[in-house]
Amino acid sequence: MKKEDVPQDLGALGKITKEVCYATDESGKYITQLSAGWDVKITALDTAWQDVEERIAAAKQKVLNKEASPILFFMEKALMNIEILAGYTGFWQWQVKRHLKPEVFNKLSEKKLKKYAEVFNVSVPNLQTMTINEA
């Protein structure tokens, strides 16, 4: 695309940051051009974030229904899966899976709870009650 055709549709991050795109100048050489955003990309990102918010809400409901431990909620909030969480905590994946069960989570030692709380950047009481301190 030509440098004057680089999209400048203002999105959620448009006021904060710009994206580098490649375009061609008048002589046909490739150059870098800053873009404030692109409607198609903005729509795709908004849809993806909506999906994330729905997964977080579903996880919270599962915890409230005592179908899962608060770890599930914080995993979804942090965009983690079992494999990633296991890597951050040092637990085996099978242990993380067990800790997702409310009856197992409720019996976890303070040391294990502290590991999870540290990974999710919350206190142990906040981990247990799904409380998030938005900064």
* Residue boundaries of the structural domains of the chain: 3-37, 41-129
Is domain 41-129 annotated with CATH 1.10.260? yes
Which of helix, strand or coil describes residue 61?
A: helix
Interval 32-73: pLDDT, tens: 888 877 777 778 888 999 999 999 999 999 999 999 999 999
78: left (phi over 0), alpha (psi -120 to 50) or beta: alpha
Helices in 3-90 by DSSP H: which ranges? Answer: 39-64, 70-77, 82-89
CA distance 94 to 72: 14
pLDDT attached to residue 38: 74
Whether the pLDDT of residue 134 is over 60: the answer is no
17: Cβ–Cβ under 8 A, 6 or more apart, which residues?
none
Residue 96 has pLDDT above 80, yes or no: yes
pLDDT digits (tens, 9 = 90+) for 111-121: 999 999 999 99
